[in-house]
Amino acid sequence: MAIHPIVPAGSAPPLAPYSPAVRAGNTVYVSGTLPIAADGSTVGPGDVRAQTRHVLQAIASALAAAGASLADVAFNQIFVKDLADYAAVNEVYREFFPERPPARYCIRADLVKPEYLVEIATTAYLGD
């Protein structure tokens, strides 16, 4: 099975040596996605809703570049800096996954930079 790195047009520059996404057969793995604009700046400083929206839009872009969509998402791993933001993250998340939401977990974690409030990693399955 071939493994293909996916770098969507206009994606944020990676903070470390990784691909924004990888397609391996019928599965797409989207790396932990942070609220980073294409120019490397932080999106929505202090606004977890804006950051969550940007992260999910970036994930949708990575999936599209791999031939998938949010409807193909099977699993999300969500990391929040502060559990007090959990309800706000869910409010935005629900907009992107209104029906048949994927499996997921959400944990509190220190993120790579203090201004980042949310990070999401995604696994999508394209079917047989």
| Annotation marks residue 86 as catalytic | no
- The distance of Cα 25 from the centroid of its chain, to the nearest Å, equals 20
Q: Beta strand 118-125 with 103-108: parallel, antiparallel or unpaired? A: unpaired
Under 8 Å between Cβ of 112 and 15: yes
Beta-sheet strands, E only, within 3-117: 3-6, 21-24, 27-33, 73-80, 103-108
d(CA 125, CA 128) in angstroms, rounded, equals 9
- Which residue is catalytic, options 22, 37, 106, 126? 106
Kindly report the backbone phi and psi dihedral angles of residue 92, in degrees, each rounded to the nearest multiple of 5, phi listed first: -75, -45
Known catalytic residues are: 106
